Chains A and B, each alone.
Chain A
Amino acid sequence: MTGRGISRREFAKSAVAIGGTAALAACLDRGSASVPEGTDDPSTLPARQHAWNDALATDDAGNPRMPRHHVLLLLDYAGDGTPTDAHRERVETALRDLERAYAWHTEGLLFTLGYGPAYFERFESGPAGVDLPDPAALAPFEDPDFDTPDALLHLASDDERVVLEAEEALKGTRGTANDREMTASFEGIFNESDRRTGFVGAGLPADNQDVDGVPDSEPVPEESPLFMGFKSGFKGNQATEDRVTVESGPFADGTTQHLSKISLQLQQWYEQDSRDQRVSKMFCPAHAAEDRVEGVGENLGTDSGMDECPEDAVESGRRNGVVGHSQKMVSAREDDAPRILRRDFDSTDGGQAGLHFLSLQGSIADFVATREAMNGTDVAENAAVGQRVNNGILQYMTVERRGNYLVPPRSLRALPPASPN
């Protein structure tokens, strides 16, 4: 990747979005605090690549708080057919180098490396014991394109220098990471087919709202962690890491990952809907009527308060003419627990307000069922609620792309065979 000249203004807005050595150089010049170093002993790290929660900071209410900066690299394996042992070894070495360089922590670096159905087609059969379907359209009103790379790398940190530097180190354009030597890289093993970036956390959406999809009136509240002006990812609305972990077979301690790229259209949301309408559509009409959501929802604590909304979203929607996004999601719970673990974040990729909806679940079927609940097709049937109008937040988003992946356990993260011994 070649360095591109960037203005300070662009840098101030989106070093991670710009990426590359120039953005990193500008970032390193500016940063001062040191980044915590990692470990020389990989056995101290969790067996699950997706075991992030213990490494995350928490907010005042005790909800795990996502790292603030994210890079997603969609990667194609450079070789034909099945991967070679030499490539496996180099990928593993490069990842261990990163773990040596950065603490497995939100202030250091958290990452996962997953593999798509296209990768497993290189083998005689799909991943043993895991159903990993090709991505599909998941609503009658969406028409997404599909991501079919071999692999998906997710880098996350509270420190934007870290995601940029780790990315460059893996690409082989930088010989050190956090001042530790890189002894291997992905160069010649993976080719990048797409690069996506984003952020989540108070202040970042407001700072990055000068994009298509957000009106010029700069409506995103400073304290909001996401473009839509409300918190999400409450502990009580998230599956546990245990719940999303593959239980048995060679990929036990792995998880499945769904990534969708969603564009946001927030002019109507911010300039036409009232606060009450926004609360009704994001949470439920009762939350709006009772004034239960303060600001971005800091007062809600560790869940979105769905116990206080009518339980039957279909009946509530028929009666109220509007149904909340959170309200619909209740029906997707299994054994009264959510089925997916959201690790999504906002984006300004392509100058468009968006959301990289990354979620982890035991099986892609869990995601499909959850998305089906969000579609609210059952609510719209025989009701004043439209398929998108007054139906949660569907009116304000368009799913552009979808992709499915298997995130293997840490021990199998480097170009795994489909049927490990």
Chain B
Amino acid sequence: MNRRRFLAGAGLAGATALAGCGSLSSQSTRAPPLVEDRPDATYRPTHVEGMGMAGMAQAGDYMVGLTYSFPHRFWTVTGTTAEKVDIRSEDSLHLMATVWDPETEMVLPVSAGLSITVERDGETVADKPPWPMVSQNMGFHYGDNYALDGDGVYQLTVRVNGMSERRLGAFSGRFGEAAEATVDFDFRQSTLEQLSFEEFPDTQGERGAVDLMTMDMIPTSQAPAVSALPGTVLGTDKGSDAVYVASWLREAAFLDDGQSYLAVSVRTPYNRVPLPMLSLDGRVAVDGETAFEDALTAAVHPDIGYHYGAVVETDAAEPSVGVDVVAPPQVSRHEGYETAFLATPSFSF
């Protein structure tokens, strides 16, 4: 396994670790106070933290990367409510797992989720499924705060469940099976404390986002640029601060003659982090006639990325499309995303 440190690229370039401060761990458990008047939108957080590498391994069709940072506050989402999770005094770190396809390096948000067992000397230290999460600098990942038992080598066993999302194109027939991998993680408090911790006293709370990290070994989750989406882009709109891109494919290997495909890619503003776990309804009308009216299905495709789609029985070139958000993305949020993407807008393309 690889234990080298992965400090952030773009977003943290030039950030200095608070050398000589000597109180980084207590600083993390006393994270800066939240911004008082947070917009109902993506905003710049009070701070960002660097990240260390805990290990990586192949598990079946998946690659799994495990990283860590200081314990975080984060928000879980049920319905349209975000509930804050506070850092506990016993929390040692925020442990994160990223799952991706080693062939395309696409990060896969698996709604079936994964579980992580943390063991040391054969004893279970922690056993819980981390939350699916989005973070401005980390993108989509699974994460939670964990209490470890001091410095030492821990075995992290990750079980990734099989994807239930529709898998299209080259992803067809892949990622259907659960798989498991174990890595050794040599945890040292002193190494954790060397991670960067950069505050933004002047810009915190402003609408905007810190940049996505670039990492050497682990891809970050980013939806394709609108211009890179296959097919015809019917339109781009924004609602509850998320960006919705509707595209229309009349030709694809997974379509039969006379069929087309509606794909709705939902991503964060600024960083294009895909937003999974939405309930979406879609309508397609051709020449005033309804060609499709039903739930859209979460799907992954090498070129479209993670999206919500439907096969429609028409080969019309210019359909009119309606999309209703029935429930907002139920992914947990790191700071800066917890007030965004919580409403249920509707769109016409």
- State whether the Cβ of A271 lies closer than 8 Å to any Cβ in chain B: yes
Q: B316 in the interface, Cβ–Cβ < 8 Å?
A: no
Q: How far is the CB of B29 from chain A (nearest CB, A)?
A: 15
Q: Is A248 an interface residue (CB 8 A)?
A: no
Closest approach, in angstroms, between the C-beta of B206 and any C-beta of chain A?
Answer: 29
Q: A117 an interface residue at 8 Å Cβ cutoff?
A: no
**A234 CA to B94 CA, complexed, in Å:** 39
Q: Is A320 an interface residue (CB 8 A)?
A: yes
The answer to whether B132 and A389 have CB atoms under 8 Å apart is: yes
| A contact residues, range | 35 or more
Q: Which residues on B sit within 8 Å (CB–CB) of A386?
A: 111-113, 132, 277, 330
A287 CB to closest chain B CB (Å) equals 13
Smallest distance from the beta carbon of A312 to chain B beta carbons, Å? 13
In the complex, whether B203 has a CB less than 8 A from a CB of chain A is: no
A322 and B295 contact, CB distance less than 8 A: no
Question: Shortest CB–CB separation between residue A407 and chain B, in angstroms?
Answer: 33
Chain B proximity of A414: nearest CB distance (Å) = 40
Contacts of A263 in B (CB 8 A): 127
Q: How far is the CA of A281 from the CA of B159 in the complex (A)?
A: 23
Q: Which residue of B lies closest to A386 (CB)?
A: B111
Given contacts A273-B76, A319-B327, A377-B164, contact A384 B279 (CB under 8 A): yes
A317 to B178, CA, bound (A): 25
Q: In the complex, what residue of chain A is closest to B76 when comparing beta carbons?
A: A272
Q: With a CB–CB cut-off of 8 A, which chain A residues contact B76?
A: 272-273, 277
Is B83 close to A, CB under 8 A? yes
| Complex contact A318–B115 (CB within 8 A) | no
- Minimum C-beta distance from B299 to chain A (A): 11
A389 x B131 contact (CB < 8 A)? yes
Flag whether B302 is at the interface (Cβ < 8 A): no
Within 8 Å CB of B113, what residues of A?
141, 386-389, 395
Contact digits for B75-107, partner A, Cβ 8 Å, 1 yes 0 no = 011111101010010100000000000000000
CB-CB nearest in chain B for A352? B124
A303 to B208, CA, bound (A): 49
Tell which of A276, A318, A385, A390 touches B295, judged by Cβ atoms closer than 8 Å: A318
Report the nearest A residue to B162, measured CB to CB.
A140
| Partner of B112 from A141, A390, A398 at Cβ < 8 Å | A141
Q: Indicate whether A327 reaches chain B with its CB closer than 8 angstroms.
A: no
B79 touching A388, Cβ below 8 Å: no
Are B88 and A271 neighbours in the complex by a CB distance under 8 Å? yes
- In the docked arrangement, what's the CA distance between A212 and B120, Å? 14
A398 and B164 contact, Cβ closer than 8 Å, known pairs A212-B124, A273-B83: no
Binary flags per residue of A161-177, CB closer than 8 Å to B gives 1, else 0? 00000000000000000
Looking at A212, A280, A281, A387, the one whose CB has the most chain B CB atoms below 10 A away is A387
Write the chain A residue with the least CB distance to B176: A140
B249 contacts the other chain (CB 8 A): no
Asked whether A319 and B279 contact (CB < 8 A) given A141-B178, A268-B128, the answer is yes
A positions within 8 Å CB-CB of B: 140-141, 143, 212-213, 216, 263, 265, 267-268, 271-274, 276-277, 280-281, 285, 318-322, 352, 377, 380-390, 395, 398
A–B Cβ pairs within 8 angstroms, 8 of them: A141-B112, A143-B178, A212-B124, A212-B127, A276-B81, A280-B79, A321-B79, A380-B164
Closest A-B pairs by Cβ, 7 of them = A382-B295, A321-B327, A384-B327, A387-B112, A318-B279, A384-B279, A322-B78
Known: A273-B76, A318-B279, A395-B113. 13 other contacts (CB 8 A): A140-B161, A212-B127, A268-B131, A271-B88, A277-B78, A318-B295, A319-B279, A382-B295, A382-B296, A384-B278, A384-B327, A384-B329, A390-B78
